Amino acid sequence: MLFVRALLVWLVMMGVEFCHGALRTLFLAPLLGDFRARQVSVLTGSVLIVFVAYVFIHWIRAESAASQLAVGVLWLLLTVAFEASLGHYIFQLSWEAVLEDFNLLQGRLMPLGLVVLTLSPWIATRFRDRAEAKRLPVDRR
């Protein structure tokens, strides 16, 4: 059930990222150019991904660090397969063009976003645990 829930949350993430990409194309790219807009959107997209993970992490029920990492790796594999397939088969880009987004040496920051994506269940759990610890009543005897 863990991976079914993780898959459903990944679909939510892809919907959020689709909207994020559309906003980048409509508003940020005309101001900064496509390359810089993509760099900025890796950072804003990473924040969105951690936020979605934060909202759903308890529902996913990935309670151990190992299960959180497993969910993150699932999200990584699904995202890379989705991005590569979308670029090559839908947008008719060559494999070389698809792989350009993954090249840090060319200033492409997608690999950093993928690291954040992979770690987002663990990061979200840490944020959630801290938030819940602050809400616990204090015994003032």
**Predicted model pTM:** 0.91
User: Is 20:45 a contact under the CB 8 Å cutoff?
Assistant: yes
DSSP code for 137: P
pLDDT of 139: 61
How far apart are alpha carbons 92 and 55 in whole angstroms?
35
pLDDT of 138: 60
pLDDT of 134: 86
pLDDT of 135: 82
Query: Which stretches in the chain have pLDDT values below 70?
Result: 136-141
